[in-house]
Amino acid sequence: MDLYLDYNATVPPHPEVREVMDAAARERWGNPQSVHAWGRRARAVVEDAREQVAALVGCAPRQVTFTSGATEANNTVLKGRALAEPDATILVGAGEHSSVRVPARYLRELGFDTAEIPVDGDGLVAPAALERALRQHAPVSLVSVMWANNETGTLQPIAELAAVCAEHGVPLHSDAVQAAGKVPVDWGAGVAALSLSAHKLGGPQGVGALVRDDEVLALDPLLHGGGHERDRRAGTENVAGIAGFGRAAELARRDREAHAAHTRALRNRLEARLSGGPAGAEAVSAGAERLPNTSCLLLPGVAAETLLMRLDLEGIAVSSGSACASGGLQPSAPLLAMGYDRAQAASAIRVSLGAATTADETERFAGRLEALAEQLRQRPA
């Protein structure tokens, strides 16, 4: 059947992205740190892309540091703050991606103080909950709350959370990987740092960025070496990958509203059918503000792991949560944090749509999901 409905895991590279990457690899292969003509040509590619990424989130180009991806960016922020203020607490949302949750746990094991801010039944960090956490765990050196949840699509009230942090003089970092390109991500919301990833925008894998305000958020580099990226991140820049990231950011900024309208209409129709039909699906956080393309579905009586294997055999790609954790057997950590029990969390699948998804594809998927759900429920225990 060949239906790809896992755009939150990765977005197929846009043809224009591949073109600029090919051109950079052929013609701009110099080391961007070199002062000769080959180096200057490569440096121009990097700086052009820096402006394109900055325009996507409304920051200054000098605030963009290119990384190997959002995992590196998230680790840089959390570990950098722990080293900068070792006697203070780092607070992270309970529903964060593993690239935030796991570094926080690692730091805790090393003796640093980290704690989670609870989320409500929709996966939201309420400003009042953040206020309580800041008072309970003072002094706090950093708060990290993702802009949009990668599994449920829930959008956090970032501007409100930033205002609470500002009252306490604490910088707010947000993993904006899933939000950028799908909803407005505005540096003016008051964050001190943002993490971004190219391949979630139709760019290449293995390239990302940490956007930060150096005056508000002092960090030691995660990687030490040469003076690359204004001494913020050592290592020769991936020129072709960065070129692709820049073009993907430009396209995402241009097409965001049209893509959001397209995917939202498909998602809403899909959820209406599956919730009222034989699948008996429940859309998680359906009453909250969500990413327009994302649907997390609970299928009572169905093991998501088995369902995904059956769908895969038919050429249908969806997910049971974060692609980074799909090899594990543990239920979704964000769903558990939201109050769902382990059986409910283990029945959840994530369907994430893209610009190329069609109404016919979602209809065909719905039909197969309904049939498979019925089959799996009828199997003897």
**Cα–Cα nearest to 232, from 221, 216, 224:** 221
Place of tokens 């979630």: 200
CA-wise closest residue to 297 among 283, 314, 308, 276? 283
Q: Supply 303's token pair.
A: 């093991």
Closest CA to 246 of 17, 10, 12, 13: 17
Quickly count: other Cβ atoms within 10 Å of residue 60's Cβ.
12
Measuring CA to CA, which residue among 334, 346, 336 is closest to residue 300?
A: 346
**CA 378 to chain CA centroid, nearest Å:** 36
Sheet holding 208-212, edge to edge: 64-67, 208-212, 193-197, 172-175, 140-144, 89-93, 113-117
Reply yes or no on whether 296 is catalytic: no
The span from the CA of 222 to the CA of 72, in Å, is 8
Of the residues 59, 165, 296, 324, which is catalytic?
324
- The catalytic residues are 324
